[in-house]
Amino acid sequence: MSSLRDRKRVRTRQALVAAATTLFERDGYDETTVADIAAAAEIGTRTFFSYFPTKEEVLFPESDARVRAAVEAIADRKPGERPADVLLRALQRVGDDSDDLGGRLAALRLRFIREIPAVRGRALQIQTEAQREIARHLAAAFPDQLDEVGAAALTGAFVGAVTAALQVLLGDLERLDDPVAVQAAVRKATDVALRPWVS
Amino acid sequence: MSSLRDRKRVRTRQALVAAATTLFERDGYDETTVADIAAAAEIGTRTFFSYFPTKEEVLFPESDARVRAAVEAIADRKPGERPADVLLRALQRVGDDSDDLGGRLAALRLRFIREIPAVRGRALQIQTEAQREIARHLAAAFPDQLDEVGAAALTGAFVGAVTAALQVLLGDLERLDDPVAVQAAVRKATDVALRPWVS
DNA sequence: TGCAAAACTGCACTCGTTGCAGACTTGCAG
DNA sequence: CTGCAAGTCTGCAACGAGTGCAGTTTTGCA
């Protein structure tokens, strides 16, 4: 049961994300201090760190939602599908999921991943962890065809290909805040990167 | 020509890396402050930052050597080789190169990549940049068979596969400071990950 | 209503990192 | 060899992220 305590906690968390989004949009990442964000959400500076362990983290709330989507896709496999097919479907579902919350946060995230090393680093870490988690589930789903290492290699190849392609495609975009263009880039990246396996 | 100024600068830089290595081994990453490293190398704390932009960076001197090796391998291609063949050779050469300087720094690096988020993040960034550079050269080497996006996807797939496999294999190792075991893991990772392409 | 657990907060502190300004070195032209 | 311009080294002051601590408030539940 979600007690009052829990609901309040969720509300405060969302308030922090909202406040951070607005401030980041207006002033930029480095120019916005944690104290600013906390004040805008009407909590003490110290308390911010009981909701998010670092300043970057506020840009990645719900980073596990995508993983859950992929894991679901693996669970939904039909008999006879091969590992690569399942993985392909899982990653496509993750891509579709990327029209994130409202989009403002997502746009900021893309921008700061370009601009701020600390944010880029965190994003890469999250991706790496997600990738490992997916590989684990994939290995579990095909115990006779994949060991842990093989599953990791396969997943790494797919994710690496899509990510690298996407990076080039997004690099040419000047406006990251146009969801249509971003979505198109994501789709094209998966298409190009995974074409060799679809055949 | 390397003037006295330049030679001195190189020497100081090496002194910093050496001092950092020793201190990191003795006290750990977080417990060693930049001031400690600077003092051990007999320079002012402020001056440290004119040699390395951040504390992490001291763990990655010469991060471009590996890239240069790969680029060379691409340049050395024989007529008739296909992009995947060339890339394969390039990555194998990078792997062989990994019995780094003396090995102490390399062992520390592996350990801290596991333990310290900031170091892990930086390592991933460096890898991403290296990957892009390699992709650019690959695209330039095969202008009629690869565009920028395709080259990035191919490179991303290879590097992603090897990295993910390596991560699993190294995860099972308890002693990162045994160069033989690490080297074996690297070799096995490339073998497993790239087997599908070798056929 | 009362009390224990959990949450919130300010305070003081450490550390990485930066801007600034002054002192010192080196390279080179005369 | 002398002197000047450029490059280097340094301490100092400051800022922001992040943490441990201790005291206060709030909430859940008996």
Q: What is the pLDDT of residues B62-76, one digit of tens each?
A: 888 899 999 999 999
For residue B101, pLDDT beyond 80: no
Interface test with A, best of B54, B138, B149, B162 (most A CBs within 10 A): B149
Q: What is the pLDDT of residues B136-178, one digit of tens each?
A: 999 999 999 999 999 999 999 999 999 999 999 999 888 888 8
Kindly list the residues from chain A whose CB atom is less than 8 angstroms away from the CB atom of residue B152: 164-165, 167-168
Q: What is the pLDDT of residues B119-129, one digit of tens each?
A: 999 999 999 99
Task: Say whether the CB atom of A114 is under 7 angstroms from strand D.
Answer: no
Task: Say whether the CB atom of A33 is under 7 angstroms from strand D.
Answer: yes
Dihedral sign, Cα of residue B174, residue B179, residue B183, residue B184? negative
Coil, helix or strand at residue B175: coil
Which whole number is the average pLDDT over A32-61?
Answer: 97
Task: Say whether the CB atom of B47 is under 7 angstroms from strand D.
Answer: yes
Give strand letter and number of the nucleotide nearest B1 (CA to C1'): C27
CB B48 within 8 A of CB B34: yes
- pLDDT above 90 covers what percent of chain B? 72
More confident residue, B1 or A170: A170
Q: How far is CA B96 from CA B100, B158, B187, in A?
A: 9, 16, 8
Report the alpha-carbon distance of residue A10 to residue B181 in Å, rounded: 47
> What confidence category does residue B100 fall into, taking pLDDT thresholds of 50, 70 and 90?
low
What average pLDDT is seen over chain A?
91
Report the alpha-carbon distance of residue A104 to residue A121 in Å, rounded: 21
Report the alpha-carbon distance of residue A127 to residue A122 in Å, rounded: 9
Contact A165 B152 (CB under 8 A): yes
Interface test with B, best of A126, A129, A149 (most B CBs within 10 A): A149
For residue A149, pLDDT beyond 90: yes
Query: What is the set of domains in chain B, with CATH numbers?
Result: 4-58 (1.10.10.60), 60-198 (1.10.357.10)
Q: Does this model's pTM top 0.85?
A: yes
